[in-house]
Copies of this chain bind each other. A is one copy, B any other.
Amino acid sequence: MSSLYLGLVHYPVNNKCGETVATSVTNLDIHDIARSCRTFGVKNYFIITPIALQHELVSRILGHWEKDESAMYNPDRKDALSYVQLSQSIEDALKKIEEIEGQKARCVVTGANFKQCDGTSQDLRNKMLVDNKPTLVLFGTGWGLHASVVESADFRLAPIHGAALDGYNHLSVRSAVAIYLDRLQGSL
């Protein structure tokens, strides 16, 4: 079974007008996604942004939960947040994984609007069961991952479709992460 890593990308992503931007980290993205990652056995959750002030902010939030009184108040939260890592870039996250695992990771991208994909969550799950290659699944904030990230990835995961007859699938990134992790690593 290959090791699973997750990256929440704040740059490069699109804004509503299709421009390339860096989005802000939000407190709830840190907490909700860390809890989902911890539940589904993700080895590290990378928060990816090149902005130094955002690194400071995330470090302050993580630092709060490392304090004895916070850890005592909610030990499960401290536990989940201990899997969070800060990264300057997607390349930086991939490099860290290579250092840990001793081999390059498969870079998987997600998006709500992909026209062409390389397979479903089930296909990727099967792949991960048979090979030993570590896997990094990337999620875009804002209006999604920049085209350059999508194009250079090893695997484009099929979008999540629900039961809305008109195909509506505007999930929050927090919800999309939870669903993909359940599909990839949930107990069947």
> Is residue A149 within 8 Å, beta carbon to beta carbon, of the partner chain?
no
Q: Which residues of B contact A165 (CB under 8 A)?
A: 41
Query: Is there an interface contact between B32 and A168, defined as CB atoms closer than 8 Å?
Result: no
The stretch among A45-53, A101-109, A175-183 that forms the contact with chain B is A175-183
> So how many copies of this chain end up in the complex?
2
Within 8-50 of A, Cβ neighbours of B (below 8 Å) are at 28, 31-32, 35-36, 38-41
A160: shortest Cβ distance to chain B, in Å? Answer: 7
A78: shortest Cβ distance to chain B, in Å? Answer: 11
Measured in the bound complex, the distance between the Cα atoms of B47 and A48 in whole Å is 34
> Is residue A170 within 8 Å, beta carbon to beta carbon, of the partner chain?
yes
Query: Is there an interface contact between B164 and A38, defined as CB atoms closer than 8 Å?
Result: yes
> Is residue A116 within 8 Å, beta carbon to beta carbon, of the partner chain?
no
Query: Is there an interface contact between B171 and A79, defined as CB atoms closer than 8 Å?
Result: no
> Is residue A174 within 8 Å, beta carbon to beta carbon, of the partner chain?
yes
Within 133-188 of A, Cβ neighbours of B (below 8 Å) are at 160-165, 168-172, 174-179, 181-183, 185-187
Query: Is there an interface contact between B185 and A163, defined as CB atoms closer than 8 Å?
Result: yes
> Is residue A80 within 8 Å, beta carbon to beta carbon, of the partner chain?
yes
Which of B76, B177, B182 lies in contact with A170, CB distance below 8 A?
B76
Query: Is there an interface contact between B40 and A162, defined as CB atoms closer than 8 Å?
Result: yes
Query: Is there an interface contact between A160 and B182, defined as CB atoms closer than 8 Å?
Result: yes
Measured in the bound complex, the distance between the Cα atoms of B76 and A164 in whole Å is 13
